[in-house]
Structure 1
């Protein structure tokens, strides 16, 4: 977990921004507190994950200053933000952060363009490209991402999703000029 950085304050977000600035692509994902009541609307995302190959940053969105930095990062042009199942994520980000994420690459679309029939998702992509099983904890997936204190299991789960997306992006050698 020393390669996972939890970001909850504007100062931490500034550090993350500086570190992320050097990369041309990030692994990207979000997590929202699950809703269990019919008709209940999620006010997520509650966290945004951005990863380089070295580090994954897990941004909590409680602090307005931290939210503002995340919005700037997501709106930044010229950096590919690669991930899986991002349609819902980008809609929620627009609603919560008031920005349209720029240069988002839906990796499921890349797989479809290459002849795969169904949505790969991160598990399928890792299996196909690296011949490995990507284990995702159901308990972490359905945990409360709105908590002020995230558990180590939550941090690892969140970071791994973003890292895996970036590794898949790199393995696919998607050209930046789409």
Structure 2
């Protein structure tokens, strides 16, 4: 089967804009009351959009301290947990280790490697949505922008400049807050529509059975 090509940035730009969260729906907890509210909301969610941001390294051999920010979101709200705060580190550890909460995002291989050391626990029930699109003939790194275009028919703009900004800053800029929230809110918003999108895709040809094998790989489906 020929590889299917995701929409380019230029093609995505022609679509209606993705409805990003209002500033009041993006939470950066700092007080005990704000952390308590964040904990209650996050632990009540069955599915959360998930991403992290790390301080960029521009020097070869520089020490990588791991993620500085953990982003978690529902379709209605996003929470940005700054891991220099002990309360944020504890909350991220608790939520990510929770088996009953599905965490969905894109490009999560590096997070799986770096978060156990940073958090002191292994993230549980995490699904990299890039693998869903790979099952349907796309490459292994479709990414959030193209996925939003494919599934929702909308354009989610991403800033390269903000992606390499200082995520370990004690105070995040408004642009950083919007960018980080989008990276978790996007997966949370498209996940409910993903099953219907998968069902509408053309069938993927079964892999050719090699001589001497009796169990060709079977195609799976996303968890719900």
Give the structure-1-normalised TM-score. 0.93
1:34-90 CA deviation, whole Å, 9 max, x = no partner?
Answer: 000011132120000000111100000112232112101100011110000111012
Q: Indicate the residue corresponding to 1:130 in structure 2.
A: 152
Residues 131, 140 of structure 2: 8 Å contact kept: no
* Equivalence for 1:39: 61
1:68 counterpart residue number: 90
SS in 2 for 1:145: coil
Within 5 A, what are the aligned runs for 1:122-161? 122-161=144-183
1:118–1:93: structure 2 CA closer, same or farther, 3 Å change rule?
A: closer
Q: Is the 8 A contact 1:9 1:63 kept in 2?
A: no
Q: Is the 8 A contact 2:104 2:188 kept in 1?
A: yes
Matched residues in 2 for 1:80 and 1:148: separation?
29
Count of paired positions: 176
- Between structure 1 and structure 2, the one with the greater Rg is 2
Structure 2 gap segments, 5+ residues each:
1-22, 196-221
Where does residue 89 of structure 1 map in the other structure? 111
Secondary structure at the counterpart of residue 112 of structure 2: helix
**Cα drift, residue 175 of structure 1:** 2.8
Asked if the contact 1:9–1:65 (Cα under 8 Å) also holds between the matched residues in 2, the reply is: no
Quote the offset at 1:107 in angstroms: 0.2
* Residue in structure 1 matched with residue 28 of structure 2 by the alignment: 6
Consecutive aligned runs of 4 or more in structure 1 exceeding 3 Å deviation = 8-11
Query: Equivalents in 1 of 2:57, 2:30: separation in Å?
Result: 23
**TM-score scaled to structure 2, two decimals?**
0.75
SS in 1 for 2:113: helix
**TM superposition shift of 1:139:** 1.7
Instruction: Let me know the Cα RMSD of the aligned residues.
Output: 1.4
